[in-house]
């Protein structure tokens, strides 16, 4: 079943510097049970894309346009605020990077979890607390009854992120959207949280969208990848092929720049320059100013995202001639 | 005296109330080498860096700069040593004054130390902006006009303009995007080689450490639990905590996915290596059953319990 269908999404923000073009024509879809990674650097538009999907952005200053933006069968472009509320939590739930700011410091964990459950399930307080305890058990919190009484400041970052995942899962969403869920965590805790998310996904069959800047997180968790840069999709494809034979020069450059892949002190392969200015994005391909393969046409032509190999798309006019074996 | 370390910490200790943030830490940064100090949040690595810089008062132990004890100097006396011992912080946004031009920021240390005339200082600052890969015209711009990577270049120029020989870099690449992280690692590596810098590189990012460091020091709850040449840490870590850190690093190969098993803090403590005296290259310092940092072959130190003592 198709859970997410985004076609030609544009998101811009009016700021005093000018119009910030955060997302410039993004399309992708997600089926139930599928896991999709959206990887990109800061300013690539990956988080804004998913915030727009759930209509979490304040409009204005945000302006959202698309040919189509469906979530669980609801047209999110025309949905009323009541319909949007019905979709959030039930169809798609989100986990953010910083659990400390996602939770209210003056209410106990149990109160906040129960509140979510009561809003969506219309059950009694006692029943909601029982379900909250079960939700904490599910994210492998052993002393769930204690944790229900705790306040956010009494828990570590890793425990708080487990609570956020429990909260997101409490309404059994069809798709979990995790926006940099482990970026603020230590590496050992990151590994535990990623394993937890994978286990729950396998167990429930829910869809997963993992938003991250970290190719390592992508390599560890998802089946399919969308690579974003400068508000656009550069490449999509199955995770194995993205890593073993990247099509787009940006994906290749990113993979080559990852430190520590081989033993020994060495110079890293760097990507020169810096990310594009979202107010005045470069014409043509957004990566052309930093691309080692750019030719004159790359400055003028915005390459369409098109199928280059069955099941794989890339937005690059240089891909056919240079990269794909006949 | 060429084997005198550029920076040496001996039994360095810091308490916050009853909490021992840094507990008898020993480490040495040899001249012209990069020593990485790694550990997770709360391990005491950043505190250790601040103590080494004398930006935070220590409660015990010594800090030696080129063999000279600087741990008892007053802040006024420290000023002269700050020309040699400098720092780059993680957050270049909060460590650069938004009201100053980049030229003023980079030249400021020269003014504080009364080096050269104002015009010469301006020229030197421009030269340093170019040395860190920025155009000299950036001297007239302000920090907010720069990207994170460019701001970190400015921080590096400011740290090195007085000709520092020892640099403490505290997570200098952690706030940066993937595509610029490599630029800053390469910049530090290039300057380190060109200037003969010695560097204490504090980081939680083992991938960067592997590409940059000569030696790795692993901290856990205020203690150094392992210390070895970088290749040995990555190929032959002995302490369970080091092993669990390495095991948790995401593998950049979807085909190599695997389930991991995780050790609790108690399990890590329970697995503290037992080492027989015959494995040691030097006698342990303490005559106790408590874990202590012991020397193995290959400049490898690990916190271990010495299972049996050699006959005296």
Using an 8 Å CB-CB cutoff, list chain B residues near A267.
186, 189-190
CB contact under 8 A, A186 and B211: no
Using an 8 Å CB-CB cutoff, list chain A residues near B149.
274
Q: Is it the case that residue B289 has pLDDT exceeding 80?
A: no
Q: Could you tell me the strand order of the sheet in which B68-69 lies?
A: B19-29, B7-16, B60-65, B68-69
**Tokens of residue B78, six digits:** 């420290």
**pLDDT value, residue B241:** 95
Query: Binning pLDDT at 50, 70 and 90, where does residue B284 land?
Result: low
Report the percentage of chain A scoring pLDDT > 70: 98
Using an 8 Å CB-CB cutoff, list chain B residues near A261.
207, 252
- Cβ atoms of residues B204 and B174 within 8 Å: yes
Angle between helices B118-131 and B102-112 (to 10 degrees): 120
Using an 8 Å CB-CB cutoff, list chain A residues near B211.
259-260, 265-266, 268
Report the percentage of chain B scoring pLDDT > 90: 73
Q: What is the pLDDT of residues B13-56, one digit of tens each?
A: 999 999 999 999 999 999 999 999 999 888 999 999 999 999 99
How many CB atoms are closer than 10 A to CB B76?
7
Q: What is the pLDDT of residues A268-300, one digit of tens each?
A: 888 888 888 888 889 999 999 999 999 999 999
- Rounded to whole angstroms, the Cα distance separating A11 from A178 reads 20
Q: What is the pLDDT of residues B240-272, one digit of tens each?
A: 999 999 999 999 999 999 999 899 889 999 999
From residue A76, alpha-carbon distances to A72, A91, B171, B223 in Å are 9, 12, 41, 53
Which residues of chain A are under the pLDDT cut of 50?
Answer: 322-323, 326
For the entire predicted model, the pTM comes to 0.89
CB contact under 8 A, A263 and B234: yes
Using an 8 Å CB-CB cutoff, list chain B residues near A290.
179
Half-sphere exposure of A221 (CA within 13 A, CB side): 33
Cα B56 off chain centre by: 16
Phi and psi torsions of A90, nearest 5°: -75, -50
Strand partners, B27: B9
- Rounded to whole angstroms, the Cα distance separating A144 from A163 reads 10
Q: Where does residue A55 fall: left (phi above 0), alpha (psi -120 to 50 degrees), or beta otherwise?
A: left
Half-sphere exposure of A169 (CA within 13 A, CB side): 26
The least confident of A209-213, B110-114, B188-192, B273-277 is B273-277
**Tokens of residue B26, six digits:** 């020993």
**pLDDT value, residue B283:** 65
* Strand stretches in chain A, DSSP E: 2-15, 18-31, 35-39, 62-65, 68-71, 74-75, 92-95, 175-179, 207-212, 224-229, 232-238, 306-309, 312-314
**pLDDT value, residue B33:** 95
How many CB atoms are closer than 10 A to CB A85?
14
Please give the helix or strand (H or E) that residue A255 lies within, else none.
helix A249-256
Strand partners, A93: A176
Quickly tell me which residue has 């490898």 as its tokens.
Answer: B300
| Facing B182 at nearest CB: one of A214, A220, A268 | A268
Query: Binning pLDDT at 50, 70 and 90, where does residue B312 land?
Result: very low
CB pairs under 8 A between A and B: 127
CB contact under 8 A, B182 and A265: no
- For A139-207, give the DSSP string: TT-TTHHHHHH--GGGS-HHHHHHHHHHHHHTT--SEEEEESTTTTS-HHHHHHHHHHHHHHHHHH--E
Phi and psi torsions of B302, nearest 5°: -140, 145
**pLDDT value, residue B308:** 64
Query: Quick one: which of B10, B12, B26 has its CA closest to B218?
Result: B26
Half-sphere exposure of A229 (CA within 13 A, CB side): 30
- For B123-148, give the DSSP string: HHHHHHHHHTT--GGGGGS-GGGS-H
CA geometry: angle at B66 spanning B127 and B153, to 5°? 25
Q: Is it the case that residue B159 has pLDDT exceeding 50?
A: yes
CB contact under 8 A, A187 and B245: yes
**pLDDT value, residue A274:** 82
- Rounded to whole angstroms, the Cα distance separating B11 from B61 reads 5
The A residues from 118 to 147 touching B (CB cutoff 8 Å) are none
- Rounded to whole angstroms, the Cα distance separating A275 from A213 reads 13
**Tokens of residue B263, six digits:** 């050790």
- The nearest alpha carbon in chain A to B33 belongs to A265
Taking residues B65-91, report their average pLDDT.
Answer: 93
Q: Is it the case that residue B152 has pLDDT exceeding 80?
A: yes
Query: Binning pLDDT at 50, 70 and 90, where does residue B276 land?
Result: confident
Coil, strand or helix at A107:
coil
Taking residues B132-147, report their average pLDDT.
Answer: 90
**pLDDT value, residue B288:** 59
- The nearest alpha carbon in chain A to B230 belongs to A264
- Cβ atoms of residues A250 and A288 within 8 Å: no
CA geometry: angle at B277 spanning B274 and B279, to 5°? 80
Taking residues B185-211, report their average pLDDT.
Answer: 93
User: Shortest Cα distance from B121 to chain A (angstroms)?
Assistant: 28
Using an 8 Å CB-CB cutoff, list chain A residues near B186.
267-268, 270
**pLDDT value, residue B275:** 84
**pLDDT value, residue A320:** 74
Q: Is it the case that residue B1 has pLDDT exceeding 50?
A: no
User: Shortest Cα distance from B226 to chain A (angstroms)?
Assistant: 17
**pLDDT value, residue A290:** 93
């Amino acid at each position: 079943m198709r859970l997410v269908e985004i076609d030609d999404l544009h998101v811009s923000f009016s700021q005093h510097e000018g119009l910030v073009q955060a997302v410039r024509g993004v399309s992708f879809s997600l089926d139930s049970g599928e896991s999709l990674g959206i990887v990109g650097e800061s300013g690539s538009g990956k988080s804004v894309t998913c915030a727009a999907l759930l209509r979490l952005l304040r409009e204005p200053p945000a302006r959202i346009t698309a040919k189509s933006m469906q979530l669980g069968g609801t047209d999110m472009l025309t949905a009323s605020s009541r319909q949007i509320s019905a979709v959030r939590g039930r169809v798609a739930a989100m986990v953010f990077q910083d659990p400390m700011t996602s939770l209210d410091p003056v209410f106990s964990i149990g109160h906040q979890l129960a509140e979510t459950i009561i809003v969506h399930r219309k059950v009694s307080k006692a029943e909601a607390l029982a379900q909250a305890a079960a939700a904490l058990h599910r994210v492998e919190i052993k002393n769930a009854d204690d944790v229900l009484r705790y306040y956010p400041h009494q828990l570590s970052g890793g425990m708080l992120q487990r609570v956020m995942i429990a909260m997101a899962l409490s309404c059994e969403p069809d798709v979990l959207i995790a926006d940099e869920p482990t970026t603020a965590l230590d590496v050992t805790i990151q590994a535990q949280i990623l394993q937890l998310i994978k286990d729950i996904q396998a167990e429930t069959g829910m869809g997963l969208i993992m938003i991250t800047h970290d190719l390592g997180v992508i390599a560890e968790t998802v089946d399919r990848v969308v690579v974003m840069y400068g508000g656009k999709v550069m490449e999509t494809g199955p995770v194995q092929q993205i890593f073993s034979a990247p099509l787009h020069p940006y994906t290749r450059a990113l993979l080559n720049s990852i430190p520590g892949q081989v033993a020994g002190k060495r110079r890293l392969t760097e990507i020169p320059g810096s990310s594009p200015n979202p107010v005045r994005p470069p014409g043509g391909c957004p990566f052309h100013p930093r691309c080692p393969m750019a030719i004159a046409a790359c400055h003028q032509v915005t390459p369409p995202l098109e199928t280059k190999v069955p099941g794989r798309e890339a937005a690059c006019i240089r891909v056919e001639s240079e990269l794909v074996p006949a | 005296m060429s084997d005198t370390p550029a920076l040496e910490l001996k039994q360095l200790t810091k308490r916050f109330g009853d909490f021992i943030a840094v507990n008898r830490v020993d480490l040495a940064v040899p001249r012209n080498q990069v020593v990485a100090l790694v550990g997770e949040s709360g391990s005491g690595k950043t505190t250790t860096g601040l103590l080494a810089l004398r930006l935070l008062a220590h409660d015990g132990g010594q800090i030696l700069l080129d063999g000279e004890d600087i741990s008892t100097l007053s802040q006024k006396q420290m000023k002269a040593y700050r020309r040699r011992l400098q720092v780059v912080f993680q957050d270049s946004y909060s460590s650069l004054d938004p009201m100053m031009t980049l030229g003023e920021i980079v030249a400021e240390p020269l003014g504080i130390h009364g080096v050269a005339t104002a015009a010469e200082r301006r020229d030197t600052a421009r030269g340093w902006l170019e040395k860190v890969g920025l155009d000299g015209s950036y001297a007239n711009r302000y920090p907010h006009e720069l990207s994170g990577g460019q701001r970190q270049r400015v921080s590096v120029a400011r740290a090195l303009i007085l000709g520092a020989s020892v640099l403490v870099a505290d997570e200098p690449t952690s706030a940066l995007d993937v595509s610029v992280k490599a630029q800053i690692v390469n910049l530090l590596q290039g300057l380190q080689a060109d200037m003969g810098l010695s560097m204490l590189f504090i980081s939680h990012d083992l991938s960067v450490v592997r590409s940059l460091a000569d030696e790795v020091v692993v901290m856990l709850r205020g203690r150094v639990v392992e210390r070895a040449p970088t290749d040995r840490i990555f190929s032959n870590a002995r302490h369970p905590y080091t092993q669990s850190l390495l095991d948790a690093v995401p593998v950049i190969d979807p085909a190599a996915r695997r389930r991991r098993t995780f050790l609790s803090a108690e399990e890590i403590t329970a697995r503290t290596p037992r080492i027989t005296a015959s494995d040691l290259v030097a006698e342990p310092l303490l005559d106790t059953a408590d874990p202590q940092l012991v020397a193995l072959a290959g400049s490898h130190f690990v916190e271990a319990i010495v299972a049996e003592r050699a006959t005296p």
